[in-house]
């Protein structure tokens, strides 16, 4: 059975043509699917005969809200969604001045093994389909009754480890008649798969790419991010440079500050020299405590000193504001609790 949300628009058109449907049918069905239809019965402007024909080989995928938490502090909403096969993923909706942003997952689990991250404990179960990524936006929006205008791919999983499905998802989520979210309102975060970063440059999608760097040199990065054993920082930076050049987009770097590991002023100086050639912005994230991990964040004073050093050296840096701290909004934590329960 085919989930029609896994098809790109031209594939959907070709599929429906095969079934003998008129050309306008693809647009109608695309619209229904993306505004949250839960079955073909919802599609009232499509004949019963056509609906019956579609049901023979295809289905309308849905996502069940298994748990939902709303922060009393800032309105952040965290969803634990259940996939049709029983696996769970997390999505977080954040309210900013510039609109509503959803942070979505790209895989069930992750095989990148970053030492400080909750999502990678237990490894990778499977990658999400394009439809499953779309459904997080579709069903969160439907539940909220408000338009979601921005997407960050910073939930569970490594998006570039699920490359083809992510590209299909991006094409579909951007399309008019569907969710119509501008590429400039989409951020993709990667731990640094250098070949895929280069490949992504060739897609010519004006999305924002952000790289989880977390260390200013190979010695430190090797100890916290196994991906660095495959692609050293020099190779990663080369890929980033190529991405910036081909796409014409400035990228940014994520840097989780882990006390005593990567947060000395010496580390800040090294980081400044590393990112300077790319004119990149640095997002500092005080590391979130994960039960199974011993990593801790520094004091506010230390965090500000690190940021101050970067600024002094001419690097744009911000400390990420923590949202939803009362609902354990950081990714991977809810799903993990559910698996072990
Ligand atoms: N795999 C992608 C996207 C998912 S992680 C990536 O690596 O970028 C989203 C961000 O949260 C990444 O920058 C990740 O390194 C960071 N992160 C993971 N666990 C964290 C923790 N305990 N504290 C702070 N940041 C964390």
Question: Can 110 be counted among the known catalytic residues?
Answer: no
Q: In the chain, where are the structural domains located? A: 2-59, 64-340
Q: Which structure tokens are listed for 40? A: 């073909």
First to last CA, the chain: 32
Q: Which of 21, 90, 132, 196 is catalytic?
A: 90
Q: Which structure tokens are listed for 198? A: 């280069």
**Domain 64-340 class, CATH top level:** alpha beta
Does residue 341 surpass a pLDDT of 90? no
Q: How far is CA 332 from CA 89, 90, 186, 234, in A?
A: 8, 7, 21, 29
The residue ranges of DSSP E strands in the chain, in sequence order, are 2-3, 58-59, 64-70, 77-82, 88-96, 99-103, 107-109, 124-127, 150-153, 186-190, 208-212, 252-257, 281-286, 317-319
The pTM for the full model equals 0.95
CA of 26 to the centre of ligand 1 (A): 38
Helix 300-312 and helix 265-275, axial crossing angle in degrees, nearest 10 = 40
Average pLDDT over residues 47-67: 96
The CATH architecture to which 2-59 belongs is Orthogonal Bundle (1.10)
Give CA 125 to chain center in angstroms.
17
Q: Which residues pair with 255 in a beta bridge?
A: 284
Q: pLDDT tens, 231-259?
A: 999 999 999 999 999 999 989 999 999 99
d(CA 1, CA 60): 10
Determine the atom of ligand 1 nearest the C-alpha atom of 153.
3
Helix 25-34 and helix 9-18, axial crossing angle in degrees, nearest 10 = 130
Q: Which of 40-44, 167-171, 327-331 has the lowest mean pLDDT?
A: 327-331
Question: Can 90 be counted among the known catalytic residues?
Answer: yes
């Amino acid at each position: 059975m085919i989930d029609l949300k896994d098809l790109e628009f031209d594939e959907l058109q070709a599929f429906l043509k095969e079934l003998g449907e008129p050309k306008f049918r693809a647009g109608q069905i695309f619209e229904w699917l993306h505004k949250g239809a839960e079955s073909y019965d919802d599609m009232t402007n499509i004949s019963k005969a056509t609906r019956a024909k579609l049901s023979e080989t295809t289905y309308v995928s849905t996502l069940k809200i298994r748990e939902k938490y709303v922060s009393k502090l800032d309105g952040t909403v965290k969803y634990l969604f259940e996939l049709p096969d029983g696996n769970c993923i997390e999505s977080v909706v954040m309210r900013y001045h510039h609109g509503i942003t959803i942070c979505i997952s790209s895989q069930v689990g992750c095989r990148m093994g970053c030492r400080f991250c909750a999502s990678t404990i237990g490894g990778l179960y499977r990658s999400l389909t394009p439809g499953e990524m779309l459904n997080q936006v579709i069903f969160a929006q439907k539940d909220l009754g408000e338009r979601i205008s921005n997407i960050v791919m910073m939930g569970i999983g490594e998006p570039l480890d699920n490359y083809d499905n992510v590209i299909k998802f991006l094409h579909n989520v951007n399309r008019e008649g569907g969710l119509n979210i501008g590429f400039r309102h989409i951020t993709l975060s990667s731990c640094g798969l250098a070949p895929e970063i280069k490949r992504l440059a060739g897609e010519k999608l004006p999305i924002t790419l952000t790289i989880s760097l977390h260390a200013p040199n190979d010695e430190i990065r090797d100890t916290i991010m196994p991906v660095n054993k495959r692609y050293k920082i020099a190779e990663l930076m080369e890929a980033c440079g190529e991405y910036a050049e081909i796409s014409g987009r400035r990228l940014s770097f994520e840097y989780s500050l882990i006390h005593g590991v990567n947060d000395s002023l010496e580390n800040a100086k090294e980081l400044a020299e590393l990112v300077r050639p790319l004119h990149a912005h640095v997002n500092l994230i005080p590391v979130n405590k994960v039960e199974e991990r011993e990593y801790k964040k520094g004091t506010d004073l230390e965090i500000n000193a690190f940021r101050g050093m970067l600024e002094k050296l001419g690097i744009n840096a911000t400390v990420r504001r923590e949202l939803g701290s009362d609902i354990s909004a950081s990714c991977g934590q809810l799903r993990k609790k559910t698996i072990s329960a």
